[in-house]
């Protein structure tokens, strides 16, 4: 889907939510907000990026030796790109970035795929916990998560799935050398790295919990103190929607689901909507800042590997 259409759908959903709640409730709720709490959100935001960089640093070592500084920089770049692309397609950037550093693209693609698979498992853990807390309301999310995990497993762990992946990617990256050479071997290599996989899962969960604290602090700014354990569980479980390649980072879809889910822990709809919008603005501003700071690097790799071809038909590449 064209990213402009995705952004339009996301904004449309947000507009419908605001119109449904009504301007009077929105204005009344916004007047309660203490802007000092915006400064406090910088703490979990900073720690989220540090944990993301640390996770990438440890997990990438079997494929390529990179420094901690490079891993943090790459995490920042990834955050900037994913904010504008649907379905976490920015993960492709990590593979091409590391390939440029000397690793094989097939190996880096396998590493990125496994990293995202582990991140999905981390989210599914919280989806399962949300089912335990609110069975009748989140069962559909659990089923969607299981279906997504099965699809990802098919494309990575079965010969037929890997052949299909190669054919699709080679359509956009025509080359004489097999593009995903080393993909299967790298998957097998990581299967013997059980401690590294476990560490990735632990750091992924830690990153998700810390990131949810940004939104929690914003709720504190409205004078609310939601029960923290159900709040964290629902906040992270909703990230499953971000994997659906419709709107960039699940904009609109995620907010709509959370507005409903937060009613389960007695948070008013208007405050949920405002808090989610504030965090959305913070995230977009942060990603925009990173995009500007790292633009020479981003544009260089986009040109070098023709990633634009992924988002447009092959015959319309620049």
pLDDT at 55: 92
pLDDT digits (tens, 9 = 90+) for 243-258: 665 666 667 777 888 8
pLDDT at 140: 52
Residue 174 placed within a domain = yes
pLDDT at 125 over 70: yes
Residue 99 placed within a domain = yes
Residue 317 placed within a domain = no
208 band by pLDDT with thresholds 50, 70 and 90: very high
164 band by pLDDT with thresholds 50, 70 and 90: low
pLDDT at 276 over 70: yes
Residue 116 placed within a domain = yes
Q: Highest mean pLDDT range out of 39-48, 144-153, 163-172?
A: 39-48
pLDDT at 46 over 80: yes
Residue 318 placed within a domain = no
Residue 276 placed within a domain = yes
Residue 216 placed within a domain = yes
pLDDT at 313: 39
pLDDT at 232: 94
Tell me which of 250 and 24 has the higher pLDDT. 24
Full residue range of the structural domain in which residue 112 is found: 3-311
pLDDT at 172 over 50: no
Burial of 192 (0-12, 13-18, 19+ CB in 10 A): exposed
Distance CA 122, CA 116 (A): 10
| Domains held by the chain: number | 1
Tell me which of 38 and 86 has the higher pLDDT. 38
Across the range 157-168, mean pLDDT stands at 56
78 band by pLDDT with thresholds 50, 70 and 90: confident
pLDDT at 312 over 70: no
pLDDT at 149 over 60: no
CA angle 230, 125, 214 (to 5 degrees): 50
pLDDT at 179: 52
Do residues 294 and 76 lie in contact, with contact meaning Cβ atoms separated by under 8 Å?
yes
pLDDT at 304 over 70: no
Residue 316 placed within a domain = no
Which pairs from 29-35 meet CB under 8 Å and 24+ separation? 29/222, 29/268, 29/270, 29/271, 29/274, 30/274, 32/222, 32/223, 32/271, 33/221, 33/222, 33/274, 33/278, 34/221, 34/222, 34/223, 35/221
């Amino acid at each position: 889907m064209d990213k402009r259409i995705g952004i339009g759908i996301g904004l449309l959903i947000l507009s419908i939510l605001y119109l449904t709640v009504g301007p009077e409730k929105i204005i009344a709720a916004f007047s309660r907000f203490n802007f000092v709490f915006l400064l406090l959100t910088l703490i979990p935001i900073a720690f989220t990026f540090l944990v993301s960089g640390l996770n990438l640093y440890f997990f990438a070592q079997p494929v390529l030796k990179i420094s901690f500084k490079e891993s943090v920089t790459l995490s920042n770049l990834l955050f900037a790109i994913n904010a504008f692309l649907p379905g976490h397609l920015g993960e492709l950037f990590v593979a091409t970035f590391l390939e440029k550093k000397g690793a094989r693209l097939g190996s880096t693609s396998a590493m990125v795929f496994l990293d995202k698979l582990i991140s999905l498992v981390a989210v599914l853990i919280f989806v399962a916990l949300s089912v335990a807390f609110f069975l009748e309301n989140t069962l559909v999310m659990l089923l969607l998560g299981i279906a997504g995990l099965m699809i990802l497993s098919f494309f990575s762990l079965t010969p037929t799935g890997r052949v299909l992946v190669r054919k699709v990617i080679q359509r956009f990256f025509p080359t004489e050398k097999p593009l995903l050479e080393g993909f299967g071997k790298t998957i097998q290599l990581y299967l013997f790295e059980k401690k590294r996989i476990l560490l990735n899962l632990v750091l992924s969960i830690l990153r998700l919990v810390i990131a949810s604290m940004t939104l929690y602090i914003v709720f504190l700014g409205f004078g609310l103190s939601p029960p923290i354990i159900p709040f964290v569980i629902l906040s992270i479980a909703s990230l499953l929607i971000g994997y659906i390649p419709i709107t960039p980072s699940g904009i609109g879809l995620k907010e709509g689901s959370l507005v409903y889910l937060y009613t389960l822990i007695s948070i008013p709809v208007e405050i949920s909507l405002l808090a989610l919008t504030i965090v959305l603005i913070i995230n977009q501003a942060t990603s925009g800042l990173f995009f500007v700071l790292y633009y020479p690097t981003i544009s260089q790799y986009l040109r070098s590997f023709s990633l634009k071809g992924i988002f447009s038909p092959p015959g319309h590449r620049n």
